[in-house]
Amino acid sequence: MESGTLRLRLADTLESAPASVMEALAEILLAKLFRRPVPADSNDRYRRYLNRRDIRRSLDLVRQIRGRKRVEGARGKHYDLDQMFEELNFRYFNGLMARPILGWSPYASRTLLGHYDPSHNAIVLSRVLDRSDTPKLAVEYVLFHEMLHLRYPAEHKGARRRVHTRDFKDAERQFAGFAEAKILLKNL
C-alpha cells in the first residue's frame, strides 16, 4: 500500500487469464486483506479456471521447470524407502507401479507426514518418521497412502478438487494393519 494505492504482483502464469478471472482474484484478495468473507461466486470462478485441464497442465510444467524439490535420499537412518516401496508395490500393486523419486524431507515435520508431488513425480516422507521408536507399520502406511496418490490422481470437477476420492479411500482400507497404523500415527 503506497499513498492510498494498493499494488500487488501476480505470477506470470496468470497473465493470460480472462478479465473475469482477474476480477474474481482481485475480489478474493481484497476480501482477505480486509478480513471479509470471500464472495462465493468469485471463489468459484477462480477455482474453475485453475481446475481447467490446460491450466493445470501448464502450472505443473511451470512447477517442474522452475521449482526445486528439496528431497534427501531414500535411505534414512532407520528406514530405506526404496526397499519399502518395492515391498509395498509387490504386495498391493502386483509390482506394476513405476517408482517415483523417493526421499526424506530435509526437516522433521509433525504436521505433514508425507506428500506426493505430481509436478516432480516425488514422494517425500517427513524425517520425523525415520526414527528407531517409529514402528515400521506406521512408515509403511504413510508410504502406501502416498503411493495411492499415484494410482488415484486428484479429480477436478468444476471448482472442486478431490484428492481423496471414494476409490482412494476404499483402496486405503485394504492396507493390512490400517486401523493399527492410524492409531500409531495419532500417538506419534
Cell of 115: 506428500
State the pTM of this model. Answer: 0.72
Per-residue pLDDT band for 140 (boundaries 50, 70, 90) equals very high
Cell of 3: 499513498
Domain ranges across the chain: 12-50, 81-186
Long-range contacts of residues 154-161, Cβ cutoff 8 Å, at least 24 apart? 156/51, 156/53, 156/56, 157/51, 158/44, 158/47, 158/48, 158/51, 159/43, 159/44, 159/47, 159/48, 159/51, 160/47, 160/51, 161/47, 161/51
SS3 state at 117: strand
**Average pLDDT over the chain, rounded to whole?**
90
Instruction: Indicate the residue type of 151.
Output: R
Is residue 130's pLDDT more than 90? yes
Q: What is the tens place of the pLDDT at every residue in 96-126?
A: 999 999 999 988 888 899 999 888 889 999 9
DSSP 120-184: TTEEEE-GGGSSTTS-HHHHHHHHHHHHHHHHSPPEEETTEEESS-HHHHHHHTTSTTHHHHHHH
Per-residue pLDDT band for 185 (boundaries 50, 70, 90) equals very high
Find out if CATH 3.30.2010.10 is the number for domain 81-186.
Answer: yes
Give dist(CA 174, CA 171) in Å, integer. 5
Q: What is the tens place of the pLDDT at every residue in 69-79?
A: 778 888 999 99
Residue 147 sits at φ, ψ, to 5 deg, of -65, -35
